[in-house]
A and B are shown apart, each in its own frame.
Chain A
Amino acid sequence: MNKIIEKEFFSESVVKLVVQAPYIARSRKAGHFVIVRSGDKGERIPLTIAAADPNSGTITLIIQKVGVTSAKLCELEVGDTITDVVGPLGKATHIENVGTVLASGGGVGVAPLLPIVEALKQAGNRVITVLAARQKELIILEEQMQQHSDEVIIMTDDGSYGKKGLVTHGMEEVIQREKVDLAVTVGPAIMMKFVTLLTGKYDIPTVASLNTLMVDGTGMCGACRVSVGGKTKFVCVDGPEFDAHQVDFDEMLLRLDSYKPSEAEAYESFLSSHPKSN
């Protein structure tokens, strides 16, 4: 169980792990996530399932090195096991044929976006996908997205690949060009906030998949709570997907930084004791 059978570096800081998890591989649907813990002293973090193969009993996780826990996961090699993997958690994405869907993914948010795009396409939608990152090396899963989208638009902050500009620039071009019935966005909270402001301007229903802090992931602790339409919701059991126009992104952004000072400190001391990760 939880054995890593494939590892691939998408970039220096983004790693793909294919992990043995036969039950989860069979039960999971688009939108689901898992909680993982690495090491007996590790913390529990949520990771969205990017893909799964029920036949081989594996799930695919994509991890960006941002702190101690993600760095520990990225250090694992083929043949190692992840201490704990539990799921699938959260509600699956609601999939129906609505017409044209504009999907947007930023950073490693592209990983959880892939199964959603795949399912939306399968349901008969026209799917246009905008992928955004700071620079070329951070654009991931482009080929797979091409396979399941009618069109893929690449945006980079520095113009090193695709078009130069933010995800919202790429999206607005599409919105002005054709009728969009639904927008789906997965990425850093700040990106989803601006995507939502944009689609709000054009009255486009929008779904955002939120990536908050979590501990148990089963509704027990409330670490993941967000305000949606003025009501407190738990991302782990009520989400992770919500009507983006109802989400209080500013509150979410604040809460994501709850442990920033101690995290930064912990990461520094981790890096100094693990020269490999530098």
Chain B
Amino acid sequence: MAEVSEYLKQEREKEWRVALRANMKNKERTQLERVSMSEQEADKRNKDFTEVNCGLSEEEARNEARRCLDCVNPTCITGCPVSINIPKFIKRIEQGDLLESARVLKETNALPAVCGRVCPQEVQCEEACFYTQKLNKPAVAIGHLERFVADYEQNSGQMSVPEITKLNGIKVASIGSGPAGLAFAGDMAKMGYDVTVFEALHEIGGVLKYGIPEFRLPNNIVDVEIDVLEKMGVKFIRNFIVGATASIEELRKEGFEAFMVGSGAGLPNFMHIPGENFIGIYSSNEYLTRVNLMNAADPDFDTPVLSGKKVAVIGGGNTAMDAVRTSKRLGADRSMIIYRRSIEEMPARNEEIIHAQEEGVEFMNLHNPLEYYADEKGRVCRMKVQKMELGEPDASGRRRPIPIEGSEFFMDVDTVVVSVGVSPNPLIPSSMKELDVSRWGTIVVDQDSMHSSVKGVFAGGDIVRGGATVILAMGDGRKAAGAMDDYLKSR
């Protein structure tokens, strides 16, 4: 840690940074208003899949960059799971050297255009920002700035490829190409390793592709970042399920010396209430996969999706918001969130909730489904819902929802999306008997090194956490890369 703070200090004392600080008084900087990103009009955007947030203009970005005080002790960095040198990239924007700013992001972040869009900055870097902590003012819009710089670089046609130290010829594998695997691959490639990423699906990107909708994270943005990894020498193998197509043991025989399991939280949870298997009732994974990965909304593609006029989405997380907003775009008259607690307890990001509300999503908070009913063809047509009230806080610290007896009622629905969490994918754990697995099915790892109970097998992301965010998975991937490097060198 001492090394890191020494490095940050040295960087901060560089001439250009000192000069920039002298350009404007802190008092003037703190007088500036936080930028607000423009958005597509709610009434238009809820009919197509174009991105909702429009990004910043260069002028807006440079103005926002001026708000950053370039603190002596940049607490924002401690809030970043991948430790981006935040003041440095922001000051490069202020200076106007945007491509250099992008290079700073890529020193520690393999997917800046993704993180700038989907990270919950408000509980990470921006929460730790001096403005939030000490001035009681809105934080520097770090997320917006990250996105601006990453997009600027993507559009510039001058994508920089991070420098690779001397190739060492050591073969390592990432199992899964989601955020954990991609972050891992980027770091390992930089350190000179021969990295192969195995992906079960036919597309690279994991949840970034099948899960997060186009209106929040366009696929081409993800593809550009993957392209950079390819230029760094990372190999991608699609349609390959480690544990089924070939075992880790077989891959060891092919020369792979260490593995990072980032296979994600694959299995969707259901509520196991009567009628849940009727036609038109989907897991959010299936509904979103059909639309995002398989392009079911486009008639040119073969995969169908049933999305009706009265859609109920069960759950209150980001995935539930993604699903309900998707249903609106597929032409629903009523898109409803049914969640058993109140809006305050919803795990979804505030921004997602607000966007959903603006787009006309109805929120039925303090409601819980009890049973589904179908027409003669088996298609769901009605559901029984019960009202809830909040009791004392439970183990999660949130107030426990309690059913109100006699409050049950029926409502008409033709599509239901169940979005009540996921469980770890059992494919890898069940193919390796000696791997330590928790009773929830997650892989048990050493917290500091992400090393599992099997030598040379590391793990990170949702297969370890059970269900978290893109950026935490990326942080795990980076941590695993560092630890794997130590492990391989110390053998």
A residues in contact (CB < 8 Å) with B: 23-24, 26-27, 37, 39, 41-44, 68-69, 83-89, 215-216, 218-223, 225-227, 231-232, 234, 237, 251, 254-255, 257-259, 262-263, 266
Contact = CB atoms under 8 A, between A and B. Distances in A.
B201 A237 contact: no
Q: Which of A69, A86, A220 has the most chain B CB atoms inside 10 A of its CB? A: A220
Contact of B289 (A68, A86, A216, A259): A216
B272 A232 contact: yes
B286 A219 contact: no
Interface residues of B, number: 41
A220 B241 CA distance: 13
Contact of A220 (B239, B285, B378): B285
A88 to B, nearest CB: 6
Given A42-B302, A218-B200, A219-B267, A89 B286 contact: no
23 contacts: A27-B244, A27-B247, A43-B304, A84-B238, A86-B200, A86-B201, A86-B239, A219-B267, A219-B427, A220-B267, A220-B285, A221-B268, A222-B270, A222-B285, A225-B277, A226-B277, A232-B276, A237-B267, A251-B277, A254-B278, A254-B378, A257-B378, A262-B304
A255 B378 contact: yes
Nearest to B422: A220
Contacts of B267: 219-220, 222, 234, 237
B270 A221 contact: no
B241 A84 contact: no
B400 to A, nearest CB: 26
B277 A232 contact: yes
Interface stretch (B15-23, B47-55, B293-301, B351-359): B293-301
Nearest to B278: A254
Contact of A87 (B245, B279, B295, B306): B245
Nearest to A253: B378
Contacts of B240: 23, 86
B290 interface: yes
Nearest to A254: B378
B283 interface: yes
Contact of B246 (A23, A39, A68): A23
A89 B244 contact: yes
Given A44-B294, A251-B277, A215 B289 contact: yes
A69 B294 CA distance: 14
B371 to A, nearest CB: 15
B236 to A, nearest CB: 14
A220 B425 CA distance: 8
B246 A27 contact: yes
Contact of B245 (A39, A68, A86, A263): A86
